Amino acid sequence: MITLSGIIGSGKSSLTEILAQELGTKAYYEPVKDNPVLPIFYKGNEIAAKKRAQGDKDATNPYAYLLQTFFLNRRFAMIKAAMAEDNNILDRSIYEDEIFMKMNTEMGNATEVEYDIYKSLLNNMMEELPFAAHKKSPDLMITIKVSYETMIKRIEKRGRDYEQIKTDPSLVDYYHRLLKHYDTWMKEYDASPLLIIDGDKYDFVANMADRVTVLEQIEHKLVELGNLSHDHLLNLKTKHSELLA
């Protein structure tokens, strides 16, 4: 089982789809379109930031805790389903979930009490995961690391209004904070082997040569971990040569 991680707009869903097609596996995607909380969460952040700027130091986003428990529930169900079978790929991992709640607490969008309750819930879920999913952790975690500039370009390209810094200038600070938290998370993650892909250097969506380079980085890592045979790797390399011909 492979899990993808990375900041908003890093290309997790795109790489998940590419990998699933490459390896002939099932892809699990985190639902966004049917998330009723996400748009109002972004609006709540904007309102809370304005209130704090006006002197209300205790102003919080009433939807921060709701959003994170919504995501946590979805991710737990998704990883259980994926871990119950072999050869699956998830476009988001439960292992990075705490980043968002921690950051929202630091920013004042959530309270320390909400954060403590959230952490307790997350820890209880993680303790149950090996029993519920018959597996302790992913075989490989892939993180797509991108700069602020790359992230913003991709966010603008996909066009979700509530994610745009032009619509909500407070997101500039939010996104910069999130990048710093992901840098720390990558250094501290130890639940499984981790492979970091340079999302600034490689455009694996539009550039076929870049796509092949990224795929081969992942596949060599899978061979190293014993999750992919050398024969399978050679077959994939032949396929790559045909794509680039």
Whole-number average pLDDT of the chain? 90
Residues 6 or more apart whose CB falls under 8 angstroms from that of 7 comprise 146, 151, 175, 178, 179, 182
Q: How confident is the model at residue 183 (pLDDT cuts 50, 70, 90)?
A: very high
Identified catalytic residue from 91, 168, 210, 231: 91
Contact by Cβ (8 Å): 54, 115: no
Res. 97: pLDDT tops 80: yes
Q: Going by C-beta distance under 8 Å and a sequence separation of 6 or more, which residues neighbour residue 220?
A: 233
* Residue 139 designated active-site: no
State yes or no: pLDDT of 193 exceeds 80: yes
Binding residue positions: 6-14, 30, 42, 68, 92, 97, 154-158, 163
Kindly indicate the confidence band of residue 169, based on its pLDDT and cuts at 50, 70 and 90: confident
Contacting residues for 161 by C-beta, under 8 A, at least 6 apart: 167
Cα–chain-centroid distance for residue 83?
Answer: 17
| CATH for 2-201 (3.20.20.60, 3.40.50.300, 3.40.50.12160, 3.40.50.2000) | 3.40.50.300
User: Cα–Cα distance between 77 and 53 in angstroms, integer?
Assistant: 38
Model-wide pTM > 0.85: yes
Q: Is 177 within 8 Å of 107 (Cβ atoms)?
A: yes
Report the distance separating Cα 238 and Cα 26, nearest Å.
Answer: 22
Tokens of 31: 């639902």
Which segments are annotated as binding site for substrate?
Answer: 30, 42, 68, 92, 97, 163
